[in-house]
Structure 1
Amino acid sequence: MLELRQLTKSYASGHPVLDKLSWQFRAGEFVAIMGDSGVGKSTLLNLIAGLDQPDAGPGQEASPILVDGVAMSGLDDDAATRLRRARMGFIFQAFHVLPHLTLLQNVALPLLLNGLPRGRAGQMLEAVGLGGRGADFPHQLSGGELQRVAIARALVHRPALVLADEPTGNLDPDTADTILTLLRQEIKATGACAIMVTHSHAAAAMADKTLQLTKLGIQETTIVNPFEQKTR
């Protein structure tokens, strides 16, 4: 589904944030990525989405990022936009919910852009606990509610790749558990791949696999849900 090949990225100052990162992510896999602040977790998501560009390594010809075998670096802006629109779903820390659209219109936007029926938008609002509020506007919602709208919008068109940056950061534990359960169900039902950046051990424990990102690279690690530990 997704392959990283010697992915490298440096800040404008020249300081490296990601250095020759390689990994394969499979369809149907829910992966959590953890790590200290500043190691490049959000940068990694932006690179995968094509919202930022990786550094070109010396003599490097092969693309460092492939989505379904398609080299992101070989796409022009229009082609990259079409791929993101059809194949990806994004859950950003800053929500990016459009203030001039109702909640239902915000969630239906990926369906509209992809020429798909819009009936599923209401279903997804219901799934995240906001059924009956489709006519409301974003300014009427709390931060946690806006996060749920962003999650519904990211999943509504059944993307093949879901990228989530701290998707439960504004949610209480019970709502976070509900949302992560929904995310996992959608992934398994559609065979999508999901990559979730999180600082929460409880959230990471819901994933199939947890990767630890450090300045030295990326490696698989074991995460135990702290709430499960207390009940043992």
Structure 2
Amino acid sequence: MLQLRHLSKSYTNGRPVLADLSWHFKAGEFVAIMGDSGVGKSTLLNLIAGLDTPDAGPQAEAAPILVDGIAMSGLDDAAATRLRRERMGFIFQAFHVLPHLTLLQNVALPLLLNGLPQQRASAMLAAVGLGGRDNDFPHQLSGGEMQRVAIARALVHQPALVLADEPTGNLDPDTAHSILTLLRAEIKSTGACAIMVTHSQAAAEMADKVLILTKSGIQETTLVN
């Protein structure tokens, strides 16, 4: 579903943040990525989404990121935007919930942009514990509730690839567990791939596979209780 091929990224001052990463993420797989702060986990998600560009150069792979066989580097801005809109779902640390839209309108936005029926939006709000609040606005919510809206919006159009940056960071343990159970169920039912960056071992334990990102690369690990 997603291939990283000798992916590298440096900061503008030339300091490397990611170096020569290669990995194959499969459809239907829920993968957690852990690692120290500043090691490049969020940068990796931005690169996969095409929101940032990998390093180029004589040693770089011509197509370091492939989504369903499509080289992200070969897409112009319009094509990359279309691929993100149709094939990806995003859960950001900062929520990015639109304040002037109701909760229902926020969740329905991916359906509207993709020309899909919007009935599923209300069901997704209910699935994340916000049933009956379709017409509320984001200013009426706590941080944890806004995170749940963001999660519902990311899943509503049944994307092939879900990218989640600390999706349970603002949730209490019980809500976090229920949200991750929903995320896992959605992935398994649709055959999507989900990549979740997290510092939480409890969250990582919900994944099929846990990868550790370090300055030396990426490798699979087994969590120890």
TM-score range, shorter chain: over 0.9
Partner of 1:143: 143
Alignment of 1:30-69 (within 5 A): 30-60=30-60, 62-69=62-69
Cα distance between partner residues in 2 of 1:223 and 1:105: 39
In structure 1, what is the equivalent of residue 196 of structure 2? 196
Matching of residue 124 in structure 1 with residue 124 in structure 2: yes
TM-score under structure 2 length normalisation: 0.99
Counterpart of 2:208 in structure 1 is 208
State the partner residue of 1:85.
85
CA contact (8 A) 2:6 2:61 kept: no
Shift of 1:61: 5.3
The CA RMSD over aligned residues, in Å, is: 0.8
User: Which residue does 1:103 correspond to in 2?
Assistant: 103
8 Å contact 1:30–1:207 — kept in the other structure?
yes
- CA 1:177/1:21 → structure 2, altered by over 3 Å: closer, same or farther? same
> What SS is found at the alignment partner of 1:28?
coil
Instruction: State the alpha-carbon separation in 1 of the partners of residues 209 and 60 from structure 2.
Output: 30
Counterpart residue identity of residue 40, structure 1 = G
Q: Once the two structures are superposed, what CA deviation does each residue of 1:80-139 show, in whole Å capped at 9, x if it has no partner?
A: 000000000000000000000000000000000000000000000000000000100001
Per-residue deviation, 1:60: 3.6
Mapped partners of 1:223, 1:133: distance in 2: 38
- The equivalent residue for 2:15 is 15
**Who is 1:221 aligned against?**
221
Q: 1:171 maps to which residue?
A: 171
CA offsets per residue over residues 169-189 of structure 1, 9 Å max, x none? Answer: 000000000000000000000
C-alpha change, 1:138 and 1:132, in structure 2 (3 Å) is same
Counterpart of 1:6 in 2: which secondary structure? strand
**Unpaired stretches in structure 2, ≥5 consecutive residues:** none
What is the alpha-carbon distance in structure 2 between the residues aligned to residue 134 and residue 66 of structure 1? 37
Deviation at 1:58, TM superposition (A): 1.4
Runs of 5+ unmatched residues, structure 1 = 227-232
Contact 1:8 1:57 in 2 (8 A): no
TM-score normalised by the chain length of structure 1: 0.96
Deviation (angstroms), 1:223:
1.6
- Tell me if structure 1 keeps the 8 A contact 2:168–2:176: yes
Compare 57-66 and 210-219 and name the one that shifted more. 57-66
| AA partner of residue 171 (structure 1) | L
Paired residue secondary structure (1:100) = coil
- CA shift digits 1:173-220 (9 cap, x unpaired): 000000000000000000000000000000000000000000000000
